[in-house]
Amino acid sequence: MIEAPGGSVSERRPGSVSERRQQRLQETKDRYDQLGKAIEEVAWLTDVEKNVMLYVSPGYEQIWGRTCKSLVQDPRDWAAAIHPDDRARVLEAALTRQSAGTYDEEYRIVRPDGSTRWIRERAFPVRDASGTVVRLAGAAQDITRQRELETQLNQAQKLESIGLLAGGIAHDFNNLLTVMGAGCDWLTEALGDNPELLEILGEVRDATARAGSLTPAAW
């Protein structure tokens, strides 16, 4: 053994190539985990065939209500949670559009506790230097609150439209009643002494007044 200042060569030799590679991989994974914990979205990375889940952020457990371990063991575990009405569409899009970089889907998932959440998921291919797709990466976001607000806004807009329509109808209705009332007044003067016809006109005038009370004065 050759002695050198500060110890022998063997004592100063760094770890093996495989050990250094493993250390770098662990450091990379630790950075991914730190990033994943800092965001609410789900970030994921798979092989091209989607048979191996290379990485999934902790947000998966918060949104899907399933463990990251279950997804690593079965990369198709995420699809089992998709609402039955959305599943065929999403799986078809995942199969045909993720590797093309055009995958952008909104769908519902059903969590183990029975609650439903809306998801927006996007995915794109990761290519090597030659342009070959070697990985698929994606991100999923919980947009449940956004969808609820959109639904409330749509309902409010529908109610507003109904109110405007009802207001327009009431306005026209009141105009018609005004014409009818004026006609009754003119006929009363024109008929003079005709008790039977005057009685009928009185009933028409009363009915017109009652009809007018059915609509707010503001309309």
The pLDDT tens digits for 47-67 are 998 889 999 999 999 999 999
Which ranges in the chain belong to alpha helices (H)?
9-12, 17-38, 59-64, 68-73, 77-80, 84-97, 144-191, 195-212
pLDDT in tens, 78-134: 999 999 999 999 999 999 999 999 999 999 999 999 999 999 999 999 999 999 999
Cα distances from 126 to residues 47, 133, 137, in angstroms, run 10, 6, 7
Give Cα 150 distance to the centre of its chain.
9
Using DSSP's 3-state secondary structure scheme, residue 136 falls into strand
Looking at residue 16, what is its pLDDT?
A: 72
Give Cα 33 distance to the centre of its chain.
26
210: exposed, middle or buried (Cβ count in 10 Å: 0-12, 13-18, 19+): exposed
pLDDT in tens, 3-15: 444 444 444 445 6
